[in-house]
Each structure stands twice: as C-alpha cells, then as structure tokens.
Amino acid sequence: MVPRPSHATRSPRGARPRFLAAARAAARAGAALLAFAIAPAARADDGPGALPWRVPGAIGYTVDAASFPDSAGTRLEVYLRLRPATLARLAQDVTHEPWIRFALRLRPAGRRGPAHTATQELRVTAADTLAAYGRVLVVPFRVAPGAHVLEVRAEARRHLLPGAGTGRPDVAKVEGEVVVPGAQAGRSISDLEFVWAAGDSNTPRAFRRDGVARLPNPERLYGLYENALRASFAARAPEGAARPWRWVARVLDDAGAVVVARESTGTAAATLDADVALDLSRTPAGGYTLEVKAWQEGDEGALLRRARFSVAWDAETWTRDPGDLADEAHLLLGREQDERFARLQPGEQERVLADYWRARDPSPETAANEARETFRRRVAFANATYGRAGVGRGMFSDMGRVFIRYGEPSEVQRQVMPGWDNELSRVLRQLLTSDDRPVGDLQNVPGADMRPFEVWIYEGEIAMPLDASERAGTPRHLGKPLLFLFIDERMVGDYRLRYSTE
C-alpha cells in the first residue's frame, strides 16, 4: 500500500531533524567515505566563501570576478551567469516579456571609500534556454588594490516564477569579499579569467576585449560541453622594461600532481597578454587548480597566480539548480559533510556523489546504478506527495524522509478524520505492550484523543536504508516489524513522526 498524500512541512535544511537516531549514525558512517574529498567547512558568518558564488533557487545565478592591471590602474570585471534552469523558469511566462535585473554595489572592506554601483537588466528569450552555457553578463568597475565587499541583488517579477503570485518581485542576494591584488616589486599580474570560448566571434553572447571575442566562464566549469580549459591573464612590468616574456601554465590535482601543462613566450614588451588552452578531455570529474607563472628574461623570480576550477561530465551538473543537488546530498550526508558539500565546486560535488553511489551500486557490472535510481524515484514521490504549497518540499517532511529511506511500507494504519473513538489511544497501548520503548508524553492527552494519525509498518525482508553504508539496499530480516507513528498534532495535515522502533 502506497502511503496516502498528506500535507507535511519541510524542516529547515540547516536544522536537521533529530527524530531518527539510527539514521544519523548511518548517515555519518556513509559520509565517512566522503571525508577525503571535502575541505573543512567554513563558519556560517564567513559569507559565501571564495569565488565563484553560486546562488540557488528560482532566480539561480553564479558570481565570479577577475581584476586586470592596465595603464589607468585596475579594472575589476564581475561576471554573472544565469543558469539554464533559471532561464527556463523565466521563459515559461507567456503573458509578459520575461526580464531579470541585477543591481551591484562594490565598496572598500573595513575602510572608508566611495561605493560603486551598477545595474544590468536583460530580457529572456526562448533561444536562451537552448545552450548549457546559460546567459553571461559582464559588469566592469574601476578599483584600487585591496579587499572589497561586493553585493549582488537579482530580482524578477514574482508572477514569472512557478507557484508565485503577482506583486513584489522575487529577490536573490549574495554578499562577500573580493580581494584585488596589488603590484609585486613594481610588476603585476592579473587574476585568471576563465572562459568557455575565445577568438570565435560567432559564439552566442560573446564579449569583445582587446579585439578578441570571449565568453567568460563564471562557473569555472569544464568537461562535458567544453573539454578544453581556456583562460586569459595579463602581466605588466615597469614602463620601459621591454624584455621578452616567458610563462608556464599547469593544472594540478588535489595531491599537487601535474595533470597537464603548457609553456610559451611573449614578445619583448613591458606588457604581456596571454591566453591559455589546455586539453581536459581525459581529466576525471573533480576539483583542480590552474597555476600560472610569468617572468621576463633576467628576472630573479616569477609572478604567480593560482585559481580553482572543476571538471564535470554529467549533464545535470551543468544545467541543474545547485540547490536541488544540495537538497539531495542533505539527505545522505552528516551535518558537517553537508555544510562542506555546499561549498564545493560543481565538479567536486559530482565526484563526491559518484563515489558515494559507486560504493552502493548493487550491480556494478551494469551501466545503471539501481540504488541511485531508487533514491531519485523516492525523492520525486516524496516531493509530489508530502509537500505543501507555501511550506516546503516533501523530501524534508517526516513522512518524506522515512519513505526515502525505506520505501513503501508493508501496511498503513490510519485515522484521517478526527474521531471520538480513542483509536490513537488503542494504538499507543498496543505499542506499549509489544515494544519496550517508552512513548513519552504521547498518551498524556486528557479526554478522547481525536488526533489524526498514521502507522507505517515494515515487515519481512526490509532493505538497508540507501544512506546507511555500502550495504544500502541489502535485504535484512529484523525478526519483528519496523513501525513509524505519525501524528497530526494540530489537525491541519502536518504529520510529524512521534515514535518509531528503528
């Protein structure tokens, strides 16, 4: 029997419910396999962390930035990418021309100074939803070296988004610190600007700089749709130091090993503008570091710049809202691993989850991973069945979490409408006589107990939960039924787990 549709609230992702002690221990055991791939978590007050910043949700976008020294000082370019999922949501509107507006504010961090502001507005067309690149905007600022606080605010009409009404716009904001590097002994090198395409004026939405068309890559993501890493950088020496340049670019893995490298030279000049192109077609999914060193002949040392990027080969990594992926990981990982996962780059997240499900694949000799497919089906069912409009997704409800872990129960006992027959009291008495676990204050209800309830019963061969360990999905015989009691305390359709024999 499939559990009936019911209204259940979503618990906040940051406050993981504590109603399944065994689930927590199992999740921690499974997550231990992932610890090697996840960097230490940042504190909640540290802001969004290092660039790029990925903002999930209905107005999902990514923010990156790169600074370039030139004859007038330093130019900071802020890159904004609207993901395909965001564009598809906006393009669904058939009564109004979809639009989205960005407002940016850049101010010095921890010191007085003028704040710079800029706005960009764009119209969304059906053609914008066809490419995995999404839409990319470039917003330039003139800045001084040092730390700056960047605020980005995106808004779209509420009636353009699924499930939203007319009225005030939907807003998605992010704020964090951007550091603009200064000169080194009179010489300077820019940040590394990651691009998806360079030199091709036919590339959709490409921008031209110094006579070259470029499509910036705010995600710093390569692999499936772009298997060649492309990056640009600039270096400057003191005026009059017209000597030949040399530079080397290397991709390093997390162990510091060189994955691919390239060396090149530049003409005798005080400035160097260079483009890096490295083949990543054989590079596994994960996080990597691009390292660039540049120097002129006769220099004692080299200018150095490093930046993180990632490689991903799954189409969902490129197009899916990162919030959806983080929500699924939230059900599988322990608290610390969950917080760290949210700060990983897309390719790193792809590798972590691939390793996680590979260890749980019941038939690794086949192309399909049945454990992951089962998990996805259960998540989709929970969202469709136990969610509630205006509250949250069903996967985070108590019923949704139990269904995702164990699937369809063998039997469901329920009292849907409030009754006067003390049926819940009878069920509680049965629990007291059949199990030695206390039921707490569940039975301390004066008078007739009218609360609606459901009891989910799992009997026979019960599979290990999908988040338990490498043995996930393995049938086991517990010897007695596994019970979960959900009660609608306020009689508004919000069923909470109040007792289980797990």
Which DSSP helix (H) or strand (E) runs through 379? Answer: helix 370-386
pLDDT value of residue 99 = 82
Which residue in 205, 223, 175 sits closest to 345, CA to CA? 223
For the domain made up of 183-313, give the CATH fold: Immunoglobulin-like (2.60.40)
Pairwise CA distance, residues 23 & 27, whole Å: 6
| Under 8 Å between Cβ of 64 and 104 | no
Mean pLDDT across the chain: 80
CA-CA distances (angstroms) from residue 78 to 82, 272, 297, 304, 443? 13, 22, 33, 22, 60
Better-scored residue on pLDDT, 87 or 152:
152
Better-scored residue on pLDDT, 482 or 292:
292
- The residue behind tokens 């950088």 is 233
Model pTM score: 0.80
What's the CATH superfamily of 57-181?
Immunoglobulins (2.60.40.10)
Which residue in 325, 386, 382 sits closest to 356, CA to CA? 325
Residue 246's beta-bridge partner residues?
265, 295
pLDDT in tens, 302-324: 999 999 999 999 998 988 888 88
pLDDT value of residue 324 = 87
Pairwise CA distance, residues 126 & 88, whole Å: 8
Q: Where are the domains of the chain?
A: 21-31+363-500, 57-181, 183-313
Q: What's 285-352 look like in SS3?
A: CEEEEEEEEEEECCCCCCEEEEEEEEEECCHHHHHCCHHHHHHHHHHHCCHHHHHHHCCCCHHHHHHH
Whether residue 56 is preceded by a cis peptide bond, meaning omega within 30 degrees of 0, is no
| Under 8 Å between Cβ of 360 and 473 | yes
pLDDT value of residue 92 = 73
Domains 57-181 and 183-313 share a fold: yes
pLDDT value of residue 240 = 84
pLDDT in tens, 230-284: 999 999 999 888 999 999 999 999 999 999 999 999 999 999 999 999 999 999 9
Which DSSP helix (H) or strand (E) runs through 423? Answer: helix 423-434
Pairwise CA distance, residues 12 & 391, whole Å: 10
pLDDT in tens, 385-427: 998 765 578 999 999 999 999 999 998 988 765 555 556 666 6
Pairwise CA distance, residues 110 & 147, whole Å: 8
Q: What is the mean pLDDT of residues 36-47?
A: 43
